[in-house]
Amino acid sequence: ARRARDARLRLSTPLPGVSPSRGLGSAMSALAFPAAAPSHARGVARGNRVARGNPASVVTTSTRARASASPVAAATTLADEVRPDFPILEQDLPDSGKRLVYLDSAASSQKPRAVIDAHGDYYRNDNANVHRGVHYLSGKATDAYEAARVKVADFVNAKSDREIVFTRNASEAINLVAYTWGVANLKPGDEVVVSVLEHHSNLVPWQLVCAQTGATLRHVGLRPDQSGIDLDELEVVLKEGKVKLIATAHVSNVLGCELDVARVAEMRAKHAPGAKILLDACQSVPHMPVDVRSLEVDWIVASGHKMCGPTGIGFLWGSEEVLESMPPWMGGGEMIQDVFMDRSTYAPPPARFEAGTPAIGEAIALGAACDYLTAIGMDRVHAYENELGGYLHDALKSVDGVTVYGPGLNSPRASLAAFNVENLHANDVCTLLDQAGVATRSGHHCTQPLHRYLDVNATARASAYIYNTPNEVDVLVEALRDTIGFFKDINGA
């Protein structure tokens, strides 16, 4: 059943260099979508690899075969277990009365009660500045803040908590590396290589620093099947002997493809042994086990708000040797050893890079997020999301007129899918999905160069996390089919 009511058409300005989309350009009416069906219990997904298409199934091989139908009710899924920890999901949208289906976790995850409570408990019980006082509250705050650093270090298997630098977010962490190591080490003739799929946060800082230092910024493209960056092309660039830094994403926030880090590290060792590797791990650390000791990279960055933590906090991991070699970035309190009127000496890492009063409550809450995910088990998180992501991909691909970007069925992919509907703008699609209670994201997702590469102005993106269910994917697809049908009706198709 459909009933029309007024809605505003929201269209993005086309990206320069991309042909305009063929979306509608006039006002539209909204649909009344059917209510979400009751959630089904569908079996716990455990182990390293699960038979895709049914998150209740368990296998231990690398098989990625999937059934095409929605999973049948069985036991309880990981999502069924954790959803009570996320009270924000238990709400209906005020305009439509539809139950919220949150599929925008690649932009920011929801927060469990334990994280919210840890943040509030700090301000209720322990609030004081850290590292600067001998009184009781300052000691409690300092202990909690530094305990959070240990939790983050353990979460990524760092050798020491001294390898963890708290930052406001991953963008600041990349800028920290760019304006310390980059400015100190890059010079004319050197090259920084990135890929066409990078988030702007891992592109713009290198543009600025290369312009400042005279180094050259290069990029590599994608494999023909969109299953990741073209590592053969990267190897050709490395063989030229000019690369001083490789900066790229561990998992793409649009394509969902996973980088073969081992091969990149192997090529670096063979062709550019003096080069450094920075890994943007914002879309990997929340979703899979990440072991910095085995990655053979020099830095990783991540954001707290994508891994059940609060906004305003992220971290940089760097090996102790590399961090020690980096000069200070911001000056101020905390980052000094001794200060004289004409000079200063600086604290060792990580304090050297944490000038001023830090985001204490946010860091403590990030530590609580690490505790929460660790208690679930990152192997289990990855296994469940592997299944759910496969089901999401297949479900969207089954809709006529829908193009899903990224790797196909036989390649690893994250639990997200960027897609477009033929002749419709992504903003139009996501607007009507929102009226059905389904929260997705439209736009370029901070990857304008990638969208130009794909020759599209924008994409819609659905991204799942531990609290999402296969039933919610079904709700998304049903709402998408109704959206497409609505536009066909008003277009006279």
Q: How far apart are CA 46 and CA 489, in angstroms?
A: 44
- Which of 52-56, 61-65, 361-365 reaches the highest mean pLDDT? 361-365
Residues sharing a CB contact under 8 Å with residue 211, sequence separation 6 or more, in sequence order: none
pLDDT, average across residues 356-373: 98
Q: What is the 3-state secondary structure (H, E, C) of the chain?
A: CCCCCEECCCCCCCCCCCCCCCCCCCCEECCCCCCCCCCCCCCCCCCCECCECCCCCCECCCCCCECCCCCCCCCCCHHHHHHHHCHHHCCECCCCCCECEECECCCCCCCCHHHHHHHHHHHHHHCCCCCCCCCHHHHHHHHHHHHHHHHHHHHCCCCCHHHEEEECCHHHHHHHHHHHHHHHHCCCCCEEEEECCCCHHHCHHHHHHHHHHCCEEEEECECCCCCCECHHHHHHHHHCCCEEEEEEECECCCCCEECCHHHHHHHHHHHCCCCEEEEECCCCCCCCCCCHHHHCCCEEEEEHHHCCCCCCCEEEEECHHHHHHCCCCCCCCCCEEEECCCCEEECCCCHHHCCCCCCHHHHHHHHHHHHHHHHHCHHHHHHHHHHHHHHHHHHHHCCCCEEECCCCCCCCECCEEEEEECCCCHHHHHHHHHHCCEECEEECCCCHHHHHHHCCCCEEEEECCCCCCHHHHHHHHHHHHHHHHHHHHHHCC
Note the residue count of the chain: 493
Q: How far apart are CA 216 and CA 313, in angstroms?
A: 31
Which pTM does this prediction carry?
Answer: 0.86
- Torsion region of 439: left, alpha or beta (phi above 0 gives left; psi -120 to 50 gives alpha): beta
pLDDT of residue 493: 59
Residue 10: pLDDT above 70?
no
Maximum Cα interatomic distance, the chain, rounded to a whole number of Å: 77
Residue scoring higher pLDDT (288 or 490): 288
Residue scoring higher pLDDT (52 or 204): 204
Of 279, 339, 316, the residue nearest 180 (C-alpha): 316
Q: Is 323 in contact with 174 (CB distance < 8 Å)?
A: no
pLDDT, average across residues 139-144: 98
A 10 A CB-CB count for 404 gives 23
Residue type, 258: E
Answer positive or negative: Cα dihedral of 315, 321, 326, 327. Answer: positive
Lowest mean pLDDT among 30-34, 189-193, 270-274, 413-417: 30-34
Q: How far apart are CA 53 and CA 304, in angstroms?
A: 30
Residue scoring higher pLDDT (24 or 18): 18
Assigned token pair, 20: 């305009």
pLDDT of residue 41: 29
Residue scoring higher pLDDT (219 or 225): 219
Residue 89: pLDDT above 50?
yes
Of 148, 151, 159, 156, the residue nearest 321 (C-alpha): 159
Answer positive or negative: Cα dihedral of 11, 13, 17, 22. Answer: positive
Using DSSP bridges, classify how beta strands 344-346 and 336-339 pair: parallel, antiparallel or unpaired: antiparallel
| Per-residue model confidence as pLDDT tens digits over 335-360 | 999 999 999 999 999 999 999 999 99
Lowest mean pLDDT among 92-101, 312-321, 423-432: 92-101
pLDDT of residue 244: 98
Residue scoring higher pLDDT (270 or 15): 270
Average pLDDT of the chain?
Answer: 87
pLDDT band for 108, please (50, 70, 90 cuts).
Answer: very high
pLDDT band for 70, please (50, 70, 90 cuts).
Answer: very low
Residue 468: pLDDT above 60?
yes
Provide the angle, in degrees to the nearest 10, between the axes of the packed helices 360-376 and 378-397.
80
Annotated catalytic residue 210: no
pLDDT, average across residues 289-315: 98
User: In the block, which residue shows the tokens 């590399």?
Assistant: 322
Q: Is 115 in contact with 308 (CB distance < 8 Å)?
A: yes
| Cα angle, residue 325 at apex, residues 320 and 327 outer, rounded to 5° | 120
Q: How far apart are CA 117 and CA 407, in angstroms?
A: 39
pLDDT of residue 150: 98
Of 326, 381, 389, the residue nearest 353 (C-alpha): 326
Q: How far apart are CA 292 and CA 319, in angstroms?
A: 9
pLDDT > 90 fraction of the chain, expressed in percent and rounded: 81
